Every structure is written in C-alpha cells, then in structure tokens.
Structure 1
Amino acid sequence: MDRLSGLDASFLYLETPAQLMHVCGLIVLDPSTMPDGYSFESMQAEIDRRVSDVPAFTRKLRRVPLGLDHPIWVRDRQFDIERHVHRLALPEPGGYKELVTLAGHLAGQPLDRSRPLWEMWVIEGYEGDKVAVFSKMHHATVDGVSGANLISHLCSLEADAEPLALGPKQEYGREPGRRELLSRAIVSNVAHRPMTAVKLLTPSAQLITRTVGRARTGTAMAAPFTAPRTSFNGTITGHRAIAVADISLDDIREIKSATGTTVNDVVLAVAGGALRSYLDARGELPDTSLLATVPVSVREQSKREGGANKVSALFAKLGTDVEDPLERLEEMSRNNRNAKDHHQAISADSLQDWAEFAAPRTFGLAVRAYAGLRLAEKHPVVHNLVISNVPGPPIPLYFMGAQILALYPLGPVFHGAGLNITVMSNHGHMHVGIIACRESLPDVDDLVQRFPAELAALKAAVIAQQTAKQLR
C-alpha cells in the first residue's frame, strides 16, 4: 500500500482555490533538433510512451474513509495522455509578454484530483519557430529534487537518444479494500500516533533549548515572525503573474571564487539587491531586512524510505537593508554559515515526523478559516517570500528530441507570502523564475529584470575590491 507521507499529504490539505499547491516549470525548446521534425501528435505520443510505466505519472489519489488517515496512491487504470498533455498556440505576436501572460493564467488553474496530479501544455508559435512547454505537478507528488528526477524520464543527452531515466518497469503499490483502509487508519490514530508524539517531545524540547543558546551567542538562524510587512505579505487570490530572466552562471561562479562564498550566497545576495531596488523604487523599502524561507533538500540525510517530499527549510535575511552589494554578500555569507550550522543540528526528518499528525479534516478547515478571516494580515509576518535554488544539468539536454534552451522553475505562493523566486542552473546559465499573486505584486517583470543589473553591480564591486587590493 502506497500511503502518502504526512508531509506529502500536508500539501493537499494546504490547498484552497487561492492557495494552489502545484509546482510549475516553463521550458523553452528548439524543435529544429528533433530527428523527425516537430508535430504535437508525435510529441504527445512519445510522452505517453515514456510515462506509461512510471507510477508518479500514472497514479491518482484515493481517500481513506471518513478522512481518518492520509490518502493513498493507486494506479489510474483509465489513464489517458490526452487528459494531461494539451496543445495551445500563442496569440500574435507570440513573444515574451504573450508567453508569460498565458503561463500565469495556466498556473492559476487547479489540478483535477480525480486524475494523476500533473499536466503539460505544449505552446506553439513562441518567437516564431520555438515551442514552449508549461508543466504543472502537485507538490504532494514532487519536491525540487524528485521533480527534477521525474523530468529526466522525458529528457535525453542526445536528440535521438533514449531518456535518462527510462529503465525497468516500475511497480505500483497494492490497492487495499475499504475495510482494510479503515482498520489501518483506526490503528494508526489510536495506537501509533500518540506514542510517536511522545517520542518527538524530548528532542523537540532539546532543540528549543539549543536554539535559545545559539540566539544568545548570535549564531542562530534568522527567526520567523520577525519579517517586515510588504505589499506581498497578505491574503492572496488565485490569480498568478509570472516573469522569467537569465543571468550568467559564470559570473556567479567568478564572484563565489573571488569572495570565498557559495553559489547560494551569491544568488541570495542578488535576490536581496533586486528586491531592495524594486521596493525602493516604489517607496516601500522597509528599514529592516526581508526574510526568506529557503527550502533545503534532506534526501541524502533522511532515514525515511517513503514520501516524495524530503525537505526542510531555513530562514535567511536577504540584506535588503544594506545598500552596498559586496557588504550584502559578506553579511549573507556569514549569516548563511550560522543558519546551516543551526539547521544541521535539527533532525533531517523532523518536519516529516511532525507532519504525520496533520489530520485531513482539521487541517483543511484551519487553512480555510485562516484565509477567510484574513489572518495573514493580522499577525506578525512569518516570512516575506520563498527562494529556492535548484541544481540543474551542466550539459545540454533534449526534451523529446528538442534542445532545451531554458528551464524556468516556478514554486507555489502562500497566504502571507505571495511571492516565490526559484532559480535553476542549466548549461552555463542561471534561469530565474518568479511567480506571485497578481494582486499583491502585479509588475513581476520589473522585479525579474533587476536580477541581471544586480549581478552586474555585485561583479563590479568585487572587481573594484580586487583592484584596490592590488594597488596597495
């Protein structure tokens, strides 16, 4: 029986018509590399061939009676590729604006829970001869790493090669009957959960004690509920706005090497600079730094075998209160070292362990009450936004034989944090994807276009510092 983990299921319970819990991707393709040329019908048929034996693409949810336990995955025996891979054409002139407008509209549509939780839209006519693919997969199915692994079923190293992950046929979990589901749920609720809760209390209390000690010595990660309020920190709607841009991965690596920092430090410092510039231009720049939640994969450290999501998170100040880009990077690097040390002291499975106690009915009602009462606008801001950095392929990849020119990841947004910035490296580029609640942050393109300028300013500051040292 393939039961959802508590963390996977929590993304189902968090979902409302406004707070959609799918992750998206916008892939730009060059169809001229396809060995037999492009046609939608052949691409749809090839996707069907590659996913037909992959449970993550062909399974659907089955609820436990009375909602007593987390749902299970079962095989969709009526799986039909035509319900998942669709065709669209961009209106004239078929440029960037038309593409991101369409992507924002698609991102705002919920997935059908009666079917496998994914969709793809093949979009023709982008910049004349290019094809774009807009994908959606529910967060209950994937996190950043597992999502990238799933995409590998559709990609290859050469235009005419087999996909990277096409291998032996994968097995589906056994499908239990209604009576078995109900009995298992009763045993879990009555016997196992209370005992597990007791086991979690002691390490959780120890963690709080250690965190207090770190805070006293100034080595704790930034604390939630300490973020300043901005225009994108309130109750969100279901409308989405999307913007994308490219920045140089070589420049990021040069800055990293010159300053002794990390790629993630540089990305966060650039994001902080872009947000500072954006808010300052609108007269909305807070006196204190914005606070970001940064998802962290714990796939290598986790002791749990099941579950698609194996993530934790740390909180990071983005230095939006620091004007000088190099000073911001230095502060970011120092704070991130403390945050990583603090995070490593937390069990890799702690978030997953506590998520097991999410009761489906209670959780869902609480989320709807939170949104309906607009509580995100009444308590201190937990965090301002989510920022993710997803490692991508260092070499060219081909999607159904078409070379991938760009791959922009897009995560979910939440009540209280209506902005998500995700970056992904790909063959020498860093692709930046921004998605936001359209009412909270309507001009996302203005924000994303500040990323290249901020990277250039940081690189110039590093060069100036090196030159000054050489002249001494």
Structure 2
Amino acid sequence: MKSLSGLDGAFLHLETPATPMHVASLHCFDVPPGYRKHFANEIRRQLQRRLHLAPVLLRKLAPMPLQFANPVWVEEPAPDLDWHVTELRLPEPGTRAQLEDCAGALHSQLLDRSRPLWQITVIDGLASGQKAYYVKIHHALLDGQAGVMLAKVLFDLAPQPAVAARKAKAASAAAPEAGGAAETAESAESPGMLALAAAALRHDAAQYVKLVRHLPEVVTTLAGLLGVGRGDKPAAAAAPAGKGRLGQNFAFGPKTPLNVPITGERGFAGVTLPLELLQQLAAQHEAKLNDIVLALCSGALRRYLDRHGGIPRKPLIATMPISLRSAGNTEFTTQATLSLVNLHTHLADPVRRLRAIRDAAGAVKALARTARSVIPTDFPSIGTPWLLQGLAALYGKSRLAGAIPPIANVVISNVPGPSMPLYAAGARMTDYWPLSITEHGVGLNITVMSYAGTMGFGFTTACCAVPDARELSAALLEALDELVTPPVKPPRRPPARKAAAQEVPAKTAAKTAAKTAAKTAAKKVARKVASQPAQP
C-alpha cells in the first residue's frame, strides 16, 4: 500500500462529471515508408514490456471504509491492456480539426476508478497518413514534471526499441501477450478494513508531526516575506520595492465570457511554434522564455475577447502552476503550487505589455523560491473526502462561479519537456500537445510543453465557455506576428503650444527683414537725392 498525499487526494475528491481531473497529451507520429504494422497492437506490446519500468501505471485505488480518509494505492499486477489501449478511426477526410475535436471529446470522459487511472486511444484515418494517439492519466497520479519522466520511460530515443526494453522482454516472457493478461492473472487483493484504517492513521500522525516540526521554519519564512524580521534590514529595505511589483498580481480579475459555471464537454486546439524563435524574442527583450509564453497568451486573449464582448479595462489574471520538485526528485506524485500573474491585457502595445508581464512574473517566482520550503503538498486527510466532495458539489450546483469576481481568469502552465525526438513502435513523434483541467469559473486552460526544438501550445476549453477552441489558436499566431513585428507608431504632431512658440520667432524674423529692407531702400533714395544738383 502507498498513501496518497493530501494534494493528490484533493484531485480525486474535487472531481465531478462537469470537472474531470485528469491531464492528457495528444501526439502525432510519422511512420517510416512501407510501415505495415498494426500501430495499436505495437503500442500494447511496447507497454507490456515496459510496465515494470513505470510502476505508476500499475497503481489502482483501494477506497477507505465510508471514505473517511484518502484511499491508498495498491498494485494491479496485470492490467488489461485491451481496455487501457483502445483505437478509433476518424471519419473522412481526417482533418487536423477532426483530430482536435476527437481529443476534446475523449478529454470529456471520466476514468474508471476500479482500474489503474490511465488510458491511451490510438487514432487512425488522418489524411496526412500520420498516426496519432491521445493518452490521459489522473492528476492524482502525477503532475506535469512527472508526466515528462513517464514519457521518457514509455517512448524510445531511436526508431529501434531501447536495449533496456529488449532485456525486459525476457522478464515479461512468462506473462501472457498484451491484452490477455487480465484474464489469466489475478488482480491485487484489496487490503482489509483494519489495514486501511491503520494506514490512514499512520499517515495523518506523520503529517501532524511534520507540521509541528516545520512550524518555526514557516513562521521565520513568513516574517521574512513581510519584512518584519528583527535586524533584517536588507529584507525590510527590499520589501517596498518588491511589494509594488508583487501586489499587482493579487487582485480579482474582470468578468469575461471565460469565467462562468461549466459543463463536462471539452474542446481542444493545438499550435506548434519553433522554440528557437521564442528564445530569440526572449533574448531580444531581456526576458525569460516563460515571459514570452505569457505575453503570447495575453495577446491571444486580447484578440479573442475583442471579438467576444470587448477587452476589459481591468487586466486579466492568470493562475500559473510553479513546480516545488527539488533537483533529482523522480517521485510520481504532484509537487506543485499555484501562483497568480497579471497578464496586463489592458495594454495595447505588445512590447510594453511583455515588459510589464516580465516584471509581474519575476516577482511571483521570487516569492515562490523564498517560500518553496514551507508550501505543503501533503497534509492530514481524515474527513477531507467528505469536505471536499461536498464543497465541489455545492460550488457547481450553486453557480457561484458566475456571480462572484474571478480570482483568476485563465490557467497558464509551461512545462519543460523532452529536448530530443521520441519514437513509439518505430514511428517518430512530430507533435506533443498537452491537455489539462478546466474548472467552474475558469473555462480555459493553456498548457505549453517544449519538445525537440518546438513549443506545443494546448488550448483546453469548456465548450460552454469557448465554443470554438481554434479561435484561440488562430489568435495566438496573430499575437506572435505582432510581437515579432511590432506595429509602427505614426509620428507625433507637436503640441499646440510648441507650434505657437515656433511661430513667434518666425514672425519676428519677418518683421526684422522687412525693417532692414525698408532702411536699405530709404538710404538708396537719400543717396540718389543727394547726388542730384540743387535747383535754383
């Protein structure tokens, strides 16, 4: 048995049919010339050989009696790969838009909690001749960084399978072929009621001890953030400067069409951009790559809202996950927290908007680095399922999300992904688009994943908030064009007072010239008169 962390358990208890809590990704693959293999069966065989390398895919839930605390993970030794890996074919003509709509429909469906919480759908019928598949896994199992680690296990770095996978084949040779394992192997027995209760009590006792042990550190850190530490003059002196930049992020966002109660239907659109171009923009503007991502999303939102009710005068606020994972941590669990970032959508100038976002995001990340050690990802869970499930149901039914000002208007997440090309069953992955979670009051999630010299932008939408997700992907391309080639400003006309001031010297000079000419003419006339003889 393995206890869920408090944060992982929250993703389970907050899930409703309107708010699925799984994350996913959509991939396209180029198959080599003359490829005749059945792609779905090849994927099953590959998984069969590698499940021992990714034990997270063997975990399933063992619920607590009466759900009085978080469930625990137990191992399913032989998952049914015919259920976990399914296939479908797109109707003709097999367009990119049909693929995106298919991914949105798959993302709307809840996972079966009686099985390990993941599923792959192999998609065929693309007009391009490519293969595709959509893979989803519950957020209770992992976060974005853990998902990248899982991808490195499931995929190859070359068209031919890795040596480790071939060696693993011998270990799994005694197991049935992919798809039939569940029929001949018994599932893990669920632990008894006493064992589950004891596990919950041990977990909560450990969490209470941890909270007490870290309380002095929490107090010290909070005091430093507030600049009230005794003798801490540098922190106190820096507080006012940082407070102004940080304070802009902590404000309610404006009401927009994105911020409404939602239903379970999901839409999706993906965009792939060259990573080198975005890095050049970051260097040009002395910004981070994440600042460019936020600026592009801000520009896309401005265009979308301009066509759907107008751009609010108040800037939109994004909630942005920040990883709490320490270097070298490879645990398959959620280790992240949420922060707020001002998107400065009220600024029309793209460069000025980017610089404002850069300052806002920098202040938030500085705060997160300081407070990282005291932000908990685990906490006591007894009574938590009842509380969170009740709150989730009440919040959805009450439709409060449409009545109160939104804390955040949109979720934007940027996850560093694999830098090298990946392969599945001999086919090279060309696109890596992430899909994530939308919630009541936040009907849009933009998750970005870098992969092999590209950046994949995934727009996951609640269809009742954003009927056509492709409007957003098109707006993102427009925002990129604007940032690459900022609009030329027309020359400013001089103020009226300045123009009048310029006219005064001109009039004076004209008068002086007229007087000089008059004097010269008068002198000529006088000389002419003097040279004439006097009359008798």
Q: Which residue number corresponds to residue 326 of structure 1?
A: 351
Deviation at 1:187, TM superposition (A): 5.3
Deviation at 1:248, TM superposition (A): 2.2
In the alignment, is residue 178 of structure 1 matched against residue 158 of structure 2?
A: no
SS at match of 2:32: helix
Deviation at 1:215, TM superposition (A): 7.1
In the alignment, is residue 112 of structure 1 matched against residue 138 of structure 2?
A: no
- Counterparts of 1:77-88 in structure 2 under 5 Å? 77-88=77-88
Question: Which residue of 417, 424, 444 corresponds with 2:442?
Answer: 417
* Per-residue Cα deviation, 1:324-369 (whole angstroms, up to 9, x for no partner): 1111111111112211111112134513145757711221111111
Deviation at 1:239, TM superposition (A): 0.4
SS at match of 1:454: helix
Deviation at 1:194, TM superposition (A): 5.1
Q: Which residue number corresponds to residue 298 of structure 1?
A: 324
Do the aligned partners of residues 34 and 431 (structure 1) sit closer, same or farther apart at CA in structure 2, a change above 3 Å counting? farther
- Counterparts of 1:239-388 in structure 2 under 5 Å? 239-300=265-326, 308-348=333-373, 350-354=375-379, 359-388=384-413
Do the aligned partners of residues 219 and 209 (structure 1) sit closer, same or farther apart at CA in structure 2, a change above 3 Å counting? farther
In structure 1, C-alpha distance between the alignment counterparts of 2:58 and 2:34, rounded to whole Å: 26
* Per-residue Cα deviation, 1:35-69 (whole angstroms, up to 9, x for no partner): 77444323322222222553111221111223233
Deviation at 1:301, TM superposition (A): 6.2
Q: Which residue number corresponds to residue 99 of structure 2?
A: 99
In structure 2, C-alpha distance between the alignment counterparts of 1:346 and 1:356, rounded to whole Å: 23
Letter matched to residue 74 of structure 1: V
* Per-residue Cα deviation, 1:186-221 (whole angstroms, up to 9, x for no partner): 4555x5555555556665566665555557831426
Asked if the contact 2:260–2:442 (Cα under 8 Å) also holds between the matched residues in 1, the reply is: yes
Q: Which residue number corresponds to residue 74 of structure 1?
A: 74
Deviation at 1:378, TM superposition (A): 2.9
In the alignment, is residue 133 of structure 1 matched against residue 133 of structure 2?
A: yes
Question: Which residue of 213, 234, 238 corresponds with 2:260?
Answer: 234
Deviation at 1:455, TM superposition (A): 1.4
Deviation at 1:402, TM superposition (A): 0.7
Q: Which has the larger radius of gyration?
A: 2
In the alignment, is residue 399 of structure 1 matched against residue 424 of structure 2?
A: yes
In the alignment, is residue 218 of structure 1 matched against residue 233 of structure 2?
A: no
SS at match of 2:246: coil
Deviation at 1:32, TM superposition (A): 2.1
Do the aligned partners of residues 229 and 364 (structure 1) sit closer, same or farther apart at CA in structure 2, a change above 3 Å counting? same
Do the aligned partners of residues 165 and 394 (structure 1) sit closer, same or farther apart at CA in structure 2, a change above 3 Å counting? farther
Asked if the contact 1:224–1:383 (Cα under 8 Å) also holds between the matched residues in 2, the reply is: no
In the alignment, is residue 143 of structure 1 matched against residue 169 of structure 2?
A: no
Letter matched to residue 403 of structure 1: R
* Per-residue Cα deviation, 1:296-316 (whole angstroms, up to 9, x for no partner): 1121169x9966111122211
* Per-residue Cα deviation, 1:259-292 (whole angstroms, up to 9, x for no partner): 2111001110111011011111223311111111
Q: Which residue number corresponds to residue 32 of structure 2?
A: 32
Asked if the contact 2:433–2:458 (Cα under 8 Å) also holds between the matched residues in 1, the reply is: yes
Q: Which runs of 5+ in 1 are unaligned?
A: 466-472
Letter matched to residue 112 of structure 1: D
Do the aligned partners of residues 34 and 385 (structure 1) sit closer, same or farther apart at CA in structure 2, a change above 3 Å counting? farther
In structure 2, C-alpha distance between the alignment counterparts of 1:383 and 1:208, rounded to whole Å: 24
In structure 1, C-alpha distance between the alignment counterparts of 2:391 and 2:166, rounded to whole Å: 41
Do the aligned partners of residues 136 and 307 (structure 1) sit closer, same or farther apart at CA in structure 2, a change above 3 Å counting? closer
Letter matched to residue 280 of structure 2: E
- Counterparts of 1:33-72 in structure 2 under 5 Å? 37-51=37-51, 54-72=54-72
Q: Which residue number corresponds to residue 154 of structure 2?
A: 154
In structure 2, C-alpha distance between the alignment counterparts of 1:336 and 1:353, rounded to whole Å: 26
Letter matched to residue 445 of structure 1: R
Question: Which residue of 427, 436, 439 corresponds with 2:464?
Answer: 439
Do the aligned partners of residues 280 and 207 (structure 1) sit closer, same or farther apart at CA in structure 2, a change above 3 Å counting? farther
Q: Which residue number corresponds to residue 426 of structure 1?
A: 451
Q: Which residue number corresponds to residue 468 of structure 1?
A: none
Do the aligned partners of residues 255 and 164 (structure 1) sit closer, same or farther apart at CA in structure 2, a change above 3 Å counting? farther
Do the aligned partners of residues 77 and 392 (structure 1) sit closer, same or farther apart at CA in structure 2, a change above 3 Å counting? closer
Q: Which runs of 5+ in 2 are unaligned?
A: 173-187, 228-238, 490-536
Letter matched to residue 275 of structure 1: L
What's the % identity of the aligned pairs? 33
* Per-residue Cα deviation, 1:407-460 (whole angstroms, up to 9, x for no partner): 100111111211100111222221111011000111210111121221121122
| CA RMSD across the alignment | 3.0
In structure 2, C-alpha distance between the alignment counterparts of 1:353 and 1:222, rounded to whole Å: 29
Do the aligned partners of residues 181 and 164 (structure 1) sit closer, same or farther apart at CA in structure 2, a change above 3 Å counting? same
Asked if the contact 1:33–1:401 (Cα under 8 Å) also holds between the matched residues in 2, the reply is: no
Which 10-residue stretch deviates more, 430-439 or 193-202?
Answer: 193-202
Deviation at 1:75, TM superposition (A): 1.2
In structure 2, C-alpha distance between the alignment counterparts of 1:144 and 1:165, rounded to whole Å: 24
Do the aligned partners of residues 98 and 32 (structure 1) sit closer, same or farther apart at CA in structure 2, a change above 3 Å counting? same
Letter matched to residue 185 of structure 1: A
In structure 2, C-alpha distance between the alignment counterparts of 1:300 and 1:112, rounded to whole Å: 32
Letter matched to residue 274 of structure 1: A
TM-score, normalised relative to structure 2: 0.79
Deviation at 1:319, TM superposition (A): 1.7
Deviation at 1:256, TM superposition (A): 1.0
Asked if the contact 2:208–2:380 (Cα under 8 Å) also holds between the matched residues in 1, the reply is: no
In structure 2, C-alpha distance between the alignment counterparts of 1:236 and 1:57, rounded to whole Å: 30
Letter matched to residue 255 of structure 1: L
In structure 1, C-alpha distance between the alignment counterparts of 2:330 and 2:277, rounded to whole Å: 38
